Amino acid sequence: YRLWVDEVSQLFGGLDICAIEIVQSKDGKEYIVQVNDCCMQLLGESQEEDRRCISELVL
């Protein structure tokens, strides 16, 4: 989904921090249902690393 994130980022002027939420329909098509900038949920084992990277970018 990197291409999707890059394209959405450009739509908003080149966001440095960007996340998308996607759903998949019963027929297999995928749709973007939400775009987030800095207000995103961090999941998985890389949460701490993600927080550190975001902090470095912001500060």
CA–CA distance, 20 with 29 (Å, rounded to integer): 16
CA–CA distance, 15 with 8 (Å, rounded to integer): 8
pLDDT below 50 — which residues of the chain?
none
Indicate the residue type of 20: I
8 Å CB contact between 1 and 22: yes
Whole-structure pTM value: 0.71
Closest CA to 6 of 32, 39, 41: 32
Give the model's pLDDT for residue 59: 86
Give the model's pLDDT for residue 48: 94
Give the model's pLDDT for residue 51: 92
| Adjacent-strand bridge partners of 20 | 35
